[in-house]
Amino acid sequence: MKISDLLNPAAVVADIESREKVKVLAELTDALIAGDNSLQKDDVMQVLQERERLGSTGIGDGVAIPHGKLKGIPELMLAFGRSRGGVDFDSMDGKPAHLFFLLIAPEESVGVHLKTLARISKLLKDSAVRQKLLNATDQDDLYQIIVAEEGQG
């Protein structure tokens, strides 16, 4: 399954305002659940924070992929956000995170969850893609870059 199949354009945040890890998770969660009122913010935040306690999802190079599994959702859900100023996300390289993919998967999901994480990692491993996303003008531009770059991968 492609990232663009899972990412609702409305769940793209062009300018994350928060400067703290937990608040960034909340802002991305708000974007994720805006289009799906079956999700409860507290439930999503709980699984994300539990995952962060196991180890930061800041993978380095200005990228973080907060993720978790939630009971009762039918399919994977994604949100994307960009912070121009960067956020201390306890990343492996110690640098601030600027680009965020939030992934929530069904509790019983294994293969698709891991494949989606791998797709996201592959997409954002490319420094040219990261730079395009950092330079994007708005929400639509960010979404179109993700769709176009994934199609080339």
Report the sign of the C-alpha dihedral through residues 14, 64, 98, 47, in that order.
positive
Whether the Cβ atoms of residue 89 and residue 97 lie closer than 8 Å to each other:
yes
Sign of CA dihedral 86, 142, 45, 75: negative
Q: Is 67 a catalytic residue?
A: yes
Give start and end residues of each alpha helix (H) in 7-136: 21-34, 41-54, 111-125, 127-135
DSSP of 25-55: HHHHHHHHHHT-TTS-HHHHHHHHHHHHHHS
Which of these is catalytic: 67, 82, 98, 113?
67
Sign of the C-alpha dihedral, residues 6, 149, 100, 143?
negative
- Could you list the active site residues? 67
